[in-house]
Amino acid sequence: MRTSADIRMVTEFEVSTMSDELPNQLAEVSRAVTGRIQSLEPEFVVVRRADMPPRASNADGPRVRLLMTGAVVAASRLLIDRTRLRTGRECGSAYGKDKATVDEAAGHLVSNRRLVEAAAAALSGLVADRA
């Protein structure tokens, strides 16, 4: 049986935008994700969404993240039927452990700490979504 020690990161990237207006940012992210998916041709896509906060917030940051996540999932789903959306807890469960364990394993795969959640989503897919 393979473990996370058998997995290596081939490519890692961030998706950014140049626009100041949110609708344009969402469109840019969607186009960037579409391009990456078309060039990488993955078997499946797993996107990690924000966990439920312990206390509701009216801050724009969490709302923008949810909108960006929606743009990524929509672009992914248009190209890849096997697109999954998971919370951190769901990523841990799909990985066969818990959120902290999958995040720790993911942290060993990426050079940029901001990509740990994405790597954890990928690990969950490698365990739960491979054909």
Domain count, the chain: 1
Asked whether residue 93 is domain-assigned, the answer is yes
- Alpha carbons within 13 angstroms on the beta-carbon side of residue 37 total 23
13-28 pLDDT per residue, tens: 888 889 999 999 999 9
Q: Alpha-carbon distance 118 to 123, whole Å? A: 9
Report residues of the chain scoring pLDDT below 50: 1
Is residue 10 in a domain?
no
Phi/psi at 46 (5° precision): -125, 125
Q: Which domain holds residue 37?
A: 19-50+60-128
Question: Encoding tokens for residue 123?
Answer: 């690990």
User: Does residue 6 belong to any structural domain of this protein?
Assistant: no
Residue 11 lies in a domain: no
Q: What percent of the chain stands above pLDDT 90?
A: 70
